Structure 1
Amino acid sequence: MKRHCSCDRCKKHHHKWDDCCKHDHKCCCKKGKKHDGKDKHKKRDKADLLDFEFFTLDPNVRMDNNMRLPEDMQTPVASVTLEQVRNGDLVWLNGVFGLDQDETIFIDNRVDMRIFKGNPPVFTPGSEIYRARFEVEGEAGDDQVIEPLMHVDRITENANNVTYTVTIEPLDTDLFLNGPITFTAALINKR
């Protein structure tokens, strides 16, 4: 009759055993093979979450004509700061931004969304670490959108108070940032 072992090692690997627990019983994962002192079930990739920062509206709900974003002008809309980053760390940036084109124009509006890194932030086109261009349809179409972003920044040098700022620049006509807005930064150390 097969019984389940109650020792920590066997619980961790979900082992079954026939005799008393002396860790040389047969592993249920590899039929007929015994452990030879090495953990054959070792996890390969591990990571630690070192810091997590976020920006949201309060309350984080849609509000009509909340903030006008002028045409052909980069406007900072969200920012997060990590206290300390180290060479080899990763910063996972995520966000969603609720936008609305309320103009009576029936054209699609091209929009550039960028992430800049630095403290203080300098919004010079070409120095961004992320850039995406998308369209918000005119009043006749889907003129209200929730636009996502996702980026991983590989840290190449140690630094303190690293700020990430999202800017939005409508290229064809004014736009409104209505919400919801969420921008997050997760600092990860891969071991």
Structure 2
Amino acid sequence: MQNWVKRSLSFLVGCSVLGGIILPSTVLAKEAKPEPKAPIVEPCHCPNHNLISKIEFNYAERLDGDDTLISIDQNKPTLMLETAFHTICSGDLVWLNGMVVLDHEYEPDTEDGEVGREAENANITIIIEKYSDLIPTPSPIYTLEVDLVPGSDDVAIPFSHIDLASSHLENVHYRVLVYSDCPLAEDADIEGPNTLAAIRFIK
């Protein structure tokens, strides 16, 4: 009898009262639900996360070429357009795009019975050049060659290039230059409008 009483008391000590019902403590522990926790958000490890923080825009425009002759000396090309940034940091992207308008209005001179030169295409080379205070010698970063047939008038030539900065630079200039392989300078000239847009994407 005493053993039965001891076992009963031990059972009651290990139980709790809920709404007048005696339940084992182990059951109550299972029924109690913990407070929901806020989900853990891992930081983004994507290499492109927050790639661009802001942009800077510069441009150059030449509304009319005024029939400026295109140089026939590749060592002294004609300067068409130029723009600059005060600072460019390593990792920045600079998108250079625009358009130049050119003529190749060659016509053989056959007056007074003279035999004119044979009409030939004009090979026009367009260059984007980059230099800064830390790059005293300008370096070409983009080259585009275009053939113009004789009699070409107001030919619009678009161009586009992305320059990825690999180091910190100050006072960075971008210039659009052009020259031709024409035998005579008067064979090809610059018309308009000509534009150069430079967009700097900053990390």
Using the size of structure 1 for normalisation, the TM-score is 0.66
User: Aligned pair in 2 of structure 1 residues 45, 107: CA closer, same or farther (>3 Å)?
Assistant: farther
Match of 1:4 in 2: none
1:151 alignment partner, one of 157, 161, 171: 161
Match of 1:98 in 2: 101
Partners of 1:138 and 1:38 lie apart in 2 by 65
2:191 is the alignment partner of 1:178? yes
- How far residue 84 of structure 1 moved from its aligned partner, in angstroms, is 0.7
Q: CA deviation digits over 1:14-48, x for unaligned, max 9? A: xxxxxxxxxxxxxxxxxxxxxx6759xxx967534
Match of 1:87 in 2: 90
- How far residue 122 of structure 1 moved from its aligned partner, in angstroms, is 4.6
Partners of 2:50 and 2:182 lie apart in 1 by 45
Query: Number of residues paired by the alignment?
Result: 148
- How far residue 51 of structure 1 moved from its aligned partner, in angstroms, is 1.3
Match of 1:133 in 2: 145
- How far residue 152 of structure 1 moved from its aligned partner, in angstroms, is 0.3
2:63 is the alignment partner of 1:51? no
Whichever residue aligns with residue 57 of structure 2, its letter is: F
Match of 2:72 in 1: 71
- How far residue 108 of structure 1 moved from its aligned partner, in angstroms, is 1.1
As a proportion of its length, which structure holds more helix?
2
Q: Which structure: larger Rg?
A: 2
User: Aligned pair in 2 of structure 1 residues 103, 48: CA closer, same or farther (>3 Å)?
Assistant: farther
Match of 1:113 in 2: 126
Q: Which stretches of structure 1, 4 residues or more, deviate above 3 A after TM superposition?
A: 36-39, 43-46, 119-123
Partners of 1:110 and 1:87 lie apart in 2 by 36
User: Which ranges in structure 1 are unaligned for 5 or more consecutive residues?
Assistant: 1-35
Match of 1:8 in 2: none
2:192 is the alignment partner of 1:187? no
2:175 is the alignment partner of 1:165? yes
Maintained 8 Å contact 2:94/2:200: yes
Q: CA deviation digits over 1:116-167, x for unaligned, max 9? A: 10037756xxx4100111111111xx44310111000000111111000110
Maintained 8 Å contact 2:132/2:170: no
User: Which ranges in structure 2 are unaligned for 5 or more consecutive residues?
Assistant: 1-38, 43-47, 109-118
Using the size of structure 2 for normalisation, the TM-score is 0.63
- How far residue 102 of structure 1 moved from its aligned partner, in angstroms, is 2.0
Maintained 8 Å contact 1:93/1:151: yes
Whichever residue aligns with residue 164 of structure 2, its letter is: R
- How far residue 172 of structure 1 moved from its aligned partner, in angstroms, is 2.2
Partners of 1:161 and 1:71 lie apart in 2 by 30
Partners of 1:49 and 1:100 lie apart in 2 by 39
CA-based RMSD = 3.0
